[in-house]
Each structure stands twice: as structure tokens, then as C-alpha cells.
Structure 1
Amino acid sequence: MPPLPPSSIQQARAALGGRLRDIRKDAGLTARALAAAAGWHESKSSRLENGKTSPSDADIRIWTSICRAEEQTADLIATARGIDGMYVEWRRMERAGLRRVQESVLPLYERTLWFRFYQSQVVPGLLQTADYTHAVLTTLVALRSAPDDIEEAVSARMGRQHVLRSGGRRFAFVIEEWVLRSVIGSPNVMVNQLRHLIGMTSVPMLSLGVVPMGVTRGNAWPCESFSMYDDKQVACELVSAGLTVTQPCEIAEYARTFAELAGIAVYGASARNLITEAIDAIR
């Protein structure tokens, strides 16, 4: 059974279903009459109107044709495709190669002025070394049977880091101390990555916070890793898929969560001490 879609997608599907219902009612048709005209079981019309099922392009064309609302077809199809794009399985996204995935987010990075990243698993991509990225992507290829274009993908991810040197942008990173202690690639790769993190703490307009192990969590529970782009979009990393959140109310929840996590993190010399301790432990 596929995983249930997150609440934002369910709400978007319900809103689209409401539009289909309004079109049907404006045409003076019952759900049973529309289903009969379309050659569907009556339950299909109900599932589409209640957002239980995503309509295909063909479903929408049939619906608007029966209701004589063809002028709305293109807009409805675009809306449905946008909803489908909110929740994309990694296997589907990576089908054309890992390089494409890395390049696909570049426009988003270039138009964002305020970046907020929370990572409970690995070092955030903008702070990764090439060797660390290579190790991470090698693992993804093995786990998901993705196309092996690792060298090109590493180059694309490293290229994205130019935004760190672009003026007018702010970057806030919060990572769990566990990330520092998880050896990715090899001990040597990990030590070099941690040394790189120490150097990044001196970059202007960039803050790096580390949530210490054993700290009293309060309301700042560890959660899925996520990235915030201004107050317009959130990207979440799930085990099997990537989730894009655009609803303002949900973005506000992530902003509150990030603030809570940032509030229990340590910065500056304290963060560098935790990184140094991790280096010593790996050695």
C-alpha cells in the first residue's frame, strides 16, 4: 500500500474535488448522472469530488466535456499536476539521474534570500565537501538502484554552493550532534567534512547551530529534515519521497519548529567544541 499523502496534499486534492463538484452542479447534473455519462462507477465521481483520488488528465477532460465547461479544462489539469508534484517518490525523481535532481533545485536557490535548514541525518548539502557528497550519493545509488552518474551529480551539488558567496542572502543551519558523530564514507572523509564545518562558522551571514546530545528538548523534538526557502516553500526529506509544502499555515508550523530547534542549539565556540570533540572521537 502506498504511503498516505501529507495533510497539505489532502487539502489540495479536496479543494480540486470541490471545484469539480461545483462544475457538475452548475451543469445541473447529479453525481450518478455524470458517472453514467462518463461510463464510470458512481463511486469514482464521489472519490474525485471528495479528494480521495487524484483525477487524471483524461478524467478532467471527460468531466468538463460532459458538464460543458471545456474552458476550465487547462486550468484544472495544471492544478492537478501541481498537486501530484508536491509529493514525489525518490525513485521517480531520480529516474533520469542524480545530476538532474541536483540541477532541478538551482532556480529555487537562486531566487531565495533567506535559507533555513534543519538536518537530523546528514550534513546539509550547502555545507558538504565533495568527498562527503560522493559518499552520500553512492549510498543512494545502492539503496534505490538510481542511475550511476555520481561524478556529475557531485559537480552539480558543489556548483550550487555559489549562493553562499552571493550577496544579500542569509543562511541558518541547525543540525543534531548525531550528524557530527555519524561516519559517512570513511573516517578520513568525515574528519575533513567536520574541519570544513569549523571553517564555515566564520562565513558572514551564516549561522551554524548544533543541538547537543543530552540537551533538554522542551518543545524542540527532533523531526524530519527540512529546508525553508524564504517564507514561500518548505522541502522535506522523507524515506521514500520528497515533499514540497507551500500552504502558508503549514510553512508557519515549520518556521515555529525551526525557531524552537534553533533555540536549544549552541553556536560559535560552543558549536566548534562539539565538532572538535566529534573529530577526536572519530580519530
Structure 2
Amino acid sequence: MTDYQMARASLGARLRELRVEARLSGRALAEALGWPPSKVSRLELGRQTASVEDLEAWSVACGVPGAAVELSAQRRALETHYTSWRRQLAAGTRARQAASKSLEDRTRRFRIFETSCVPGLLQTPDYARHVLRHVIDFHRSPDDLEAGVRVRMERRRIIDEPGRVFDILVWEPALRTALAPPAVMAEQMDHIADVIQRGVVGVSVLPIAARVSVVPAHGFWMFDEGRVLIETTGAELSLTDDDAIAPYRKAFAELSRSAVRGAAALRIVARARQGFISAREG
């Protein structure tokens, strides 16, 4: 059972508690609400997510209208799916990469902001190999490194598919963070420069010295208008409620206004590359 399913089951259990405390059978509650009995059953078993209106009506029918506030708070928590990396990586990096690919295949517009590493869709095989090695070692997940790299490279192909829009924004420190040896980092900078020059996807760089109106606290990925993913050290957050997504939509627009593109972005990438070349030669 996923964290989301567990949260929905917990909400259903609370609904059942309210009904039992009101001494109502499932059928009696359904009649009072004008619902089919099956809906009451699905909500209590966590097989269906109640709407805000459902929760308000349920509370009133059970004689505790004030409970709607508590229930609505529980429902809002459902919109933030919190999944630990331990659980995400239990089957290895390949399965995790495949899950990402599935979501990406369903998405038409991507807005990606990265603060600490090169976005996965722009990674070279060697860079991805070092990043995934860090992930495997840190979380002590099954070591299927090469399989994970293969799927990550398969994910990259999506940027050449027609009918998709990519706005990829990278904070300058992400280009300079040495997650791999200097030669690998230099090759990674070459690849980013090539993507910018080809113009297949929109890639912009947020200079470290840029004046910003939003603190670039962490990276996030927006998939169309319906989902935002945020990676933390211990877990991945998946936001699907529009109220939760709206700040990220605004933050991306604000940060994009401070970013540079084209030749200016290439100059930043070139400086980062030169830094790795100098490190290798030193």
C-alpha cells in the first residue's frame, strides 16, 4: 500500500468512526445523503476519495458539522503524496527510473528547476552513472546501477519527441557541483552546451549573481498543470492540489525572469567547464 492509499484509508476509517458514533448504519447514512450505499462503503474503505462537499454533508448527517474542518484537513494531506526514498528505491534504481518515464510519457509541458545537479533529461551516461551511484550508496538500495543508467538514458529521448514543450531552468551552482570526476563534468557541460545550441528544448541558466524575487530554495518539476514533484533528502513529495501547485507556478515564472538564455547561458556553461578542466589539469 502506498503512502497515498494509507492516508485515504485513514480518512475512510475516520468517516466510519463518525457514522458509528452517530449510531447510523451505512444504508441509513446513504439514504439521509441521497447516495447509493456503495458510495458510503467505498469512502469508508478508502477506495474513493471524498470531495470537500462529501465531507461537509457527512459531518452534518452525523450530527457533528464541526468535524468537516478536521476531515478537510485530512483530505488536503492526501494531495501531498510523501514517499520515502527507502520505499521508492526498494526495487532498485531501474524501477524508480521507469516510474519517472511513465509520468513523463503522459506529460506535454515540462517546467523543471534544478538547484543542485543537472536535470535527469540532460544528463550524460557517465554523469548519470555517478549520480545514481551516490543514490545507491546513500540509501543502501539494491545495486542495479547499469540498469538504472540505461532507463535514465531512455528517458532522455523524450526531449526530441514532437508535441512537447520543455522549459528547463538550472541554477548556476548545479552546473558547478562536482558530482563526478572533472573529465565527466566537462563532458556534461559540453552536452548542455550542445542542447542549448540545438534549441530543441528551452534551457536557461539562473546566474548565481542574479537579482531574484524568489529564494531558489530547492528544485522542482512541474508536469503540465496537475503535478509538482519535489525531491528532498529523505523523500519525494508529489503535489496535486491546485492550491499547493500555484506557488510553484509563480516561483518558476519569477525565477525565469532573472535567468539568461542563448549566448549568455552558454558563457556560464563554458566557465563551469573551464573550472573542471583546470581542476583536472591541476
TM-score bracket, shorter-length normalisation? 0.7 to 0.9
Shift of 1:22: 5.6
Shift of 1:108: 1.3
RMSD between aligned alpha carbons?
A: 3.1
The code of the aligned residue for 1:120 comes to T
Q: Specify whether residues 72 and 278 from structure 1 end up closer, same or farther in structure 2 by C-alpha distance, changes over 3 A only.
A: same
* 1:115-141 superposed Cα distances (whole Å, 9 cap, x missing partner): 010000100000000100000000111
Q: Specify whether residues 276 and 165 from structure 1 end up closer, same or farther in structure 2 by C-alpha distance, changes over 3 A only.
A: same
Corresponding residue for residue 135 of structure 2: 140
Find the aligned partners of 2:86 and 2:204 in 1 and give their Cα distance.
Answer: 32
Shift of 1:204: 4.1
Corresponding residue for residue 236 of structure 1: 230
Q: State the TM-score, normalized to the length of structure 1.
A: 0.76
Secondary structure at the counterpart of residue 134 of structure 2: helix
Corresponding residue for residue 273 of structure 1: 267
Q: Specify whether residues 70 and 64 from structure 1 end up closer, same or farther in structure 2 by C-alpha distance, changes over 3 A only.
A: farther
Shift of 1:227: 0.3
Shift of 1:28: 6.5
Find the aligned partners of 1:198 and 1:101 in 2 and give their Cα distance.
Answer: 28
Find the aligned partners of 1:64 and 1:153 in 2 and give their Cα distance.
Answer: 48
The code of the aligned residue for 2:262 comes to G
Secondary structure at the counterpart of residue 208 of structure 1: strand
Corresponding residue for residue 249 of structure 1: 243
Whether contact under 8 Å (2:205, 2:265) holds in the other structure is: yes
Q: Pick from 129, 148, 153: which aligns with 1:153?
A: 148
* 1:3-38 superposed Cα distances (whole Å, 9 cap, x missing partner): xx9xxx9xx969974x7666555x4625xx89xxxx
Q: State the TM-score, normalized to the length of structure 2.
A: 0.76
Find the aligned partners of 2:187 and 2:162 in 1 and give their Cα distance.
Answer: 27
Q: Pick from 14, 21, 33: which aligns with 1:29?
A: 21
Shift of 1:275: 0.5
Whether contact under 8 Å (1:90, 1:240) holds in the other structure is: yes
* 1:21-71 superposed Cα distances (whole Å, 9 cap, x missing partner): 66555x4625xx89xxxxxxxxxxxxxxxxxxxxxxxxxxxx979x89775
Whether contact under 8 Å (1:220, 1:264) holds in the other structure is: no
Shift of 1:205: 4.7
Whether contact under 8 Å (1:16, 1:79) holds in the other structure is: no
Query: How many percent identity over aligned positions?
Result: 29
**Residue correspondences, number:** 239
Find the aligned partners of 1:84 and 1:13 in 2 and give their Cα distance.
Answer: 10
Secondary structure at the counterpart of residue 21 of structure 2: coil
Stretches of structure 2 that go unaligned for 5 or more consecutive residues are: 31-36, 50-76, 278-282
Q: Pick from 207, 210, 219: which aligns with 1:212?
A: 207
Corresponding residue for residue 262 of structure 1: 256
Whether contact under 8 Å (1:170, 1:205) holds in the other structure is: no
